[in-house]
Structure 1
Amino acid sequence: MTNRILAFGICFTGYRELYCCGDTITGEVVLELGQDTKIESIDLCISGVCDVHLHSKCTVQAEYQADDDACPLRAREIYFEKSLQLYPSKSANEDTLLKVGRHAFYFEASLPATNLPNSFEGSLGYVRYVAKSILQTSQTELEAKRAFTLLGDTYDINLNQGSLERFNVSRSYIPTHFWFRGKGAVKAVATVPRVAYCAGEEIPMSLDITNDSGHKVKKITATFLQSMFCRIGRKTKTSVKQMSSLEFKEIREEKRSTRSSELIRIPAVAPSNLVNCDLIELAYELVISVAVTTMVMTKKIVFRIPIEVGNVPLQNNPEKNGNTLT
């Protein structure tokens, strides 16, 4: 800032930062002057964009440039742009000399009612919704930005025919045997009551283990993963991020048969597929890993369970109706 311009920023009404499709955004662009200053214009632009990059030399934090030939594996998708002239107003012939002190310029804009993806931030790209104001004087140009989170079009898991599908898979591992150890296998059966959830819900997991090997099942972990797929033309790049994890209670070696149950919570994440975004797709996976320790190595029995994440909960939830996992 300068001695003339002490502060310049954007404030949403009620300090609100979360909006839905079709909402109206209201607020003020606030300007504080230390001296009388001639202001040529104050403009505001509210936009929603997706920016992705597949090149190692590109940085997603950098400002996108449409003529950036040095980064051919970068693409941008614009969902909407709304521009407003806040000062001087088009309806009045105002004196562009503003007095010392605080000035507030009210704005109001409606978001599109449909076809907007959810806000998202990833290592290869993002979907961002931003209000940006530009102040122009004869000597300088200042810019103020404020981002907001948008809950995009709904992804209703009730419309997914496989949302109530029960995951129940058995896997075995036969360790290398020694004369003083057993000669059996380690068998694990993983069960999840359904494969579609909403952010904030907990996934009940059940694991039945039969250990006839004489070796120790040392660790059981569950990890919830988010896979981000970015596509530009025929080029594709994938980024996998761990969103949450937990560890099951240790299974003692002397216990031949045991059952362990845990709950893992789905954090606040964007819906699967990132509906209405053509550059980014999202997929989620629950990975349950059983580590069997022998004298020479540790072998893992791994279950990979695809999980659909939506933002409209199940209307007929079997767990709430008393049909819990047994």
Structure 2
Amino acid sequence: MRTLVRRILAVAAALLLVPVTAPQAAQAATTKRLTGLQWNVSGGWKYQTGGATTLMINTLFDAIMSRNPIPDFVALNEVCQSQYSALITKLQATDWPADETNFARFQATRNAEAGPDNPDVCQGNPVGIALFSRQPLGAAIRIPLEPNPAFDKDEIRHLLCAPTTTMTVKYCVTHITPTPFGTAGKAQLEQVLGHVEQFEAAGETVLVAGDFNGTPSWPEFDVWYHPSVDTTANSGNTGNWREMDDADPYCLGYGEGTTKATTGSPCGTGTKIDMIFFPNDRLAGQHSGDSLPLSTCGSELCSDHRIVWGWADLSID
């Protein structure tokens, strides 16, 4: 019996000497202020000549470099591939990109075609959407959207995304088809929402910008905006997303207009169709947005869209 007791005590003593490994703690989330800039440059329809492209690129470059905070992410619509390349070259001469060989992605949405209203779109080069990032980028994700036969006769709309390689952040840009009678491209909006929410569910923090060709007050956006956005200009929301300018007292819940229109919003001001969305459940502080005055290229407007930009304090895993 004493021998058995000694053995039990010996085993117990040995167990006390075995180090206990604590469960590995989950990586703590960090809060980072991410800044985005969005512009439909209308480059596919005008300013195709070299000199005019230089005017537009200089305007865009100045807008990027003069923001405070400076954008982490830039999204463009209707940009000529040649203009995209010109902006890459201009940004490479600065310290804006952390990796000057890997900070931009382009997706053609239509090939340049001659026509009575656009005799030489983009000088024979493709036109599409583009994104730029201060952080190096991973492989592009290119998702065609369901076409609207009445409007997308020679164009395939896309969602273009790319992850950063230095943090769990993914940037996306899109351009939704315009539709008549005050309704947005519902099928395309649902597709985009489904994909960005999949990215979020996988643990990424997503910013998605673009020309949505619909306004925040339209019912198609109720599944986007978070219920905390509940104002006269934007109510009935059930989603998990905020827009960087939705807290602007200019038109609370809606934001400033982004086109050259001076009416059309619930607040009696300009129509808002260009937006930068971020997930509400990642919000870890404040957010803000702004719509800049219409940009001029020489004596003409560069575009009938305004440059929009904003920032948000977001929790990043």
| TM score, norm. by length of structure 1 | 0.20
Q: Which has more helix, going by share of residues? A: 2
| TM score, norm. by length of structure 2 | 0.20
